[in-house]
């Protein structure tokens, strides 16, 4: 039988009630102590392998030529929404709670995260389902869809829906479904459990015990996210690693310009170097 020990302080009624955390079992060690490093190794190694062996396949394989009306709506919603979701995860997992406490109260932080995160999640989900519906309903776009694309969309849907469900459930039920401790309701806080575990991975000392008793919705979200990182190098998602940000700052490129004077009509096959061709090119 697992022993229980006290770790997180959190309660609204009792001021500070402790959340019990069970000692990790073998499954917990594999999920939270081994799988993250497997995902990281596959992500980095697979990306390098893909870049060295398949640079011509390093593309989004755009289907805009087949259909562009829905794509113009769905693509910005999905990509900008996903970028906002990613930045929100970085802020929530990487930035310590002790730092944000200097500027924001706990309630203000969670309200801001809920409002901004919900807006980003809605944009991402709407854009994603329009993209999926577009592929399913348009025969030409569907014919350009590979098995890798299907797998990618399935995992993406699971990651986004699981994350959204975890956020909404924790907003509705602050305990996250965790049992009371010492007769007091536990107020689950991912920044004192998941975020600490996430940062501990980079110290090569994963605090697996913090993940044992977190809500199931968060566990599903994190595990599926690690699966997404494992398949990432082998799908079209690799294009996210080479976003052409320089396009935002590059100057206009002049491909062809005309002189101020008008020239007469000429044959298009005048050889280079002949007098009519030289006059026309001035």
Residue 47 is encoded by which pair of tokens?
Answer: 């990306």
**Six-digit token string for 20:** 């019990």
Specify the residue for token string 């008793």: 213
**187 marked as binding residue:** no
Q: pLDDT tens per residue, the chain (282 residues)?
A: 344 443 444 433 333 334 556 688 899 999 999 999 999 999 999 999 998 888 777 776 777 666 678 888 998 999 899 999 999 999 889 988 888 888 888 888 888 888 888 899 999 999 999 999 998 888 888 888 888 889 999 999 999 999 999 888 887 877 666 666 676 677 788 888 999 999 999 999 999 999 998 999 999 999 999 999 999 999 988 888 776 655 555 565 555 555 556 656 655 555 556 655 455 555
| Residue 79, marked binder | yes
The strand pairing partners of 22, in sequence order, are: 4
Structural element, H or E, at residue 4: strand 4-9
Measured distance CA(166)–CA(143) in Å, rounded: 35
C-alpha closest to that of 6 among 215, 198, 222, 213: 213
Residue 246 marked in a binding site: no
Domains of the chain: 4-248 (1.20.950.20)
Pairwise CA distance, residues 226 & 31, whole Å: 10
């Amino acid at each position: 039988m697992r022993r229980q020990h006290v770790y997180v302080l959190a309660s609204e009624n009792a001021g500070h009630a402790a959340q019990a955390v069970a000692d990790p079992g073998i499954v917990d060690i594999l999920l939270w102590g081994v799988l993250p490093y497997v995902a990281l190794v596959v992500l980095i190694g697979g990306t390098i392998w893909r870049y060295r062996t398949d640079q011509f396949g390093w593309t989004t394989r755009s289907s805009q030529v087949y259909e562009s009306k829905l794509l113009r709506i769905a693509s910005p919603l999905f990509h900008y929404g996903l970028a906002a979701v990613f930045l929100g995860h970085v802020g929530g997992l990487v930035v310590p709670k002790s730092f944000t406490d200097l500027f924001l109260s706990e309630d203000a932080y969670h309200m801001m995260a809920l409002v901004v995160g919900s807006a980003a999640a809605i944009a991402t989900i709407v854009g994603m389902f329009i993209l999926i519906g577009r592929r399913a309903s348009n025969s030409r776009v569907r014919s350009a869809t590979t098995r890798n694309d299907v797998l990618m969309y399935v995992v993406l849907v699971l990651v986004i829906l699981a994350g959204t469900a975890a956020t909404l459930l924790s907003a509705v039920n602050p305990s996250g479904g965790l049992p009371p401790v010492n007769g007091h309701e536990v107020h689950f806080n991912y920044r004192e459990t998941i975020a600490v575990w996430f940062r501990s991975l980079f110290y090569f000392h994963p605090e697996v015990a913090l993940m044992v008793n977190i809500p199931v919705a968060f566990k599903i979200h994190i595990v599926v996210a690690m699966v997404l990182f494992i398949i990432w190098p082998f799908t079209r998602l690799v294009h996210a690693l080479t976003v052409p940000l320089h396009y935002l700052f590059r100057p206009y490129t002049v491909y062809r310009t005309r002189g101020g004077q008008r020239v007469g009509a000429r044959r298009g096959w005048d050889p280079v170097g002949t007098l009519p061709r030289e006059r026309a090119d001035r």
